[in-house]
Amino acid sequence: MTAPVVLLLSGVNLDRLGTRQPEVYGTATLDDHVATARAAAEVHGLALEHFHSNAEHRLVEAIHGATGRCAAIVINPGAFTHYAWSLHDALAAFAGPIIELHLSNPAAREEWRRVSVVAPVATGTIAGFGGDGYRLAVDAVATLLGR
């Protein structure tokens, strides 16, 4: 039987992880986080697919493409979290579990980060655990998929 696919989406500026504000986001790169998520997925018999873009519309298209093909979505939208209603609408049309993921805890930061337009259409949010969040998000997906 083929493994259910978990789509991990990375939004704007996450390609700069490793050197970008390490005091906030740590020194691990996006590739490191993807490797963490992939290892967790393998433990649960899930396949992990990753897509990064700095362009909002490309993430929207990736979400469209997940319908009927992916069992769940884990998304760290970066700053798109706080204003990209197109991501909200695209995710609202996805049938499976959706985990909103952040390295930092936006609720404990600047006022403008306390709004998430993704949260209302997410099954749940994992934030503030740094790179461990990538494993926790995949573990949450596995639980939600009954694995």
Chain residues in the site for ligand DQA (CB under 6 A): 13, 76, 78-79, 81, 102-104, 106, 113
Q: State the CB neighbour count (10 A cutoff) for residue 48.
A: 23
Residue of 25, 33, 52, 88 with catalytic role: 25
83 catalytically annotated: no
Longest dimension (CA), the chain: 47
In the complex, what is the shortest distance from the CB of residue 13 to ligand DQA, in angstroms, rounded to a whole number? 5
- In the complex with ligand DQA, which residue's Cβ is closer, 54 or 147? 54
In the complex, what is the shortest distance from the CB of residue 79 to ligand DQA, in angstroms, rounded to a whole number? 4
Q: What sign does the dihedral 101-54-88-96 (CA atoms) show?
A: negative
Residue of 33, 52, 88, 102 with catalytic role: 102
- In the complex with ligand DQA, which residue's Cβ is closer, 4 or 80? 80
CB 98 within 8 A of CB 123: yes
Range 85-101 burial, b when 16+ CB lie within 10 A, else e: eebbebbeebebbbbbb
In the complex, what is the shortest distance from the CB of residue 9 to ligand DQA, in angstroms, rounded to a whole number? 11
102 catalytically annotated: yes
The residues that are catalytic are: 25, 102
